[in-house]
Amino acid sequence: MSDFSARLIRWQRRHGRHKLPWQGADAYRVWLSEIMLQQTQVATATPYYLRFVARFPDVSALAAASEDEVLAHWSGLGYYSRARNLHRAAQIIMRQRGGRFPENFDDILALPGVGRSTAAAIGVFAFQQRRAILDGNVKRVLARYFAVAGYTGEKKIEAQLWRKAEGLLPEQDLAGYTQGLMDLGALVCTRGKPQCAVCPLHEECAAYRNGQVMQLPTPRARKALPEKHSTFLLLLNGADILLEKRPATGIWGGLWCLPQMDGAPGKDHCGIRQYGVDAAQAHALPAFTHTFTHFRLHITPLLWRLPVKPGQSQEPAKVWLCVEEAMRAAIPSPVRKLLHQITV
């Protein structure tokens, strides 16, 4: 066992995380946790994980559920393609494997939404396989330890880090080693305030020796985020509100949203009038901005309290729900925020 892995394993035993709800669990729960932890921190993902497994305790329960119900339990966690891929993968596992989660690495990798690092983590934690992982935290640890310059999302740099990760693998205690890498990146070798003094690897860390800790890993070249504008329509009839189902692909794919018009109010009166309402009669709620990975969406909400439900809204992919029920549906965060505003 290398000094790197030995130090990391000892550190993890003393200082790492040992009470995460998916640790020591079956392959289904390990898979679920790894998917949830893509793009999401442990503290944020944990309550969603607990609610998700309470409703979908195994692959068969997840596969049998409707996509709407799966998305409803994911609502607020973001990156909804993860939930749709989980649902599709569960159905594949039931249909092709009789509900038995695959153990072979290539078979795990073939599941929708599973990449190389995620498949390796599932293999390590669920099946005690000897596989290297390379998530965002691990990239940061290795880029600093070996002083690897360059953006870690670039293929050439990523390939270099994969070689480093595979070369460091110990022969034993792969789970402790892998969890140690994750924990070190999340708790000590953090992006903004790394705690090098308590890091078990700092004596050999090239970035620490060279005074490059805050320069590595090399950040991605920043580009100005595109700015987009949208008008959200809150059509209320008594306690009921109109929701529309988004297309399966794209932003908020498959979720229930408020009717939405591109642009600021006043630029699409015809679009608003298709719902049988007049923009001039709307009550404007405070505008706000929702930031996605690739753009910022400036949202202007308009509210109508209607004596009757417009006939134009009685169509497929549209539904009237009481606001309380809508809050439990598969809705994106900005819609939840607006519904909360009109109920307080």
**pLDDT at site 313:** 55
Give the model confidence (pLDDT) of 190-212 as tens digits: 999 999 999 999 999 999 999 99
Rg (CA), the chain: 24
Listed as ranges, residues in the chain with pLDDT below 50 are none
Give the model confidence (pLDDT) of 110-143 as tens digits: 999 999 999 999 999 999 999 999 999 999 999 9
Residues whose CB is less than 8 angstroms from the CB of residue 334 and which lie 6 or more positions away in sequence, other chains included: 232, 288, 290, 297, 299
Give the model confidence (pLDDT) of 307-334 as tens digits: 998 875 556 789 999 999 999 999 999 9
Task: Give yes or no: 34 in active site.
Answer: yes
Dist. CA 80–CA 74, nearest whole Å = 7
**pLDDT at site 70:** 97
**pLDDT at site 303:** 96
Residues whose CB is less than 8 angstroms from the CB of residue 202 and which lie 6 or more positions away in sequence, other chains included: 196, 208
Q: Which of 34, 67, 171, 244 is catalytic?
A: 34
Residue 66, φ and ψ in degrees, nearest 5:
-80, 155
3-state secondary structure of 25: coil
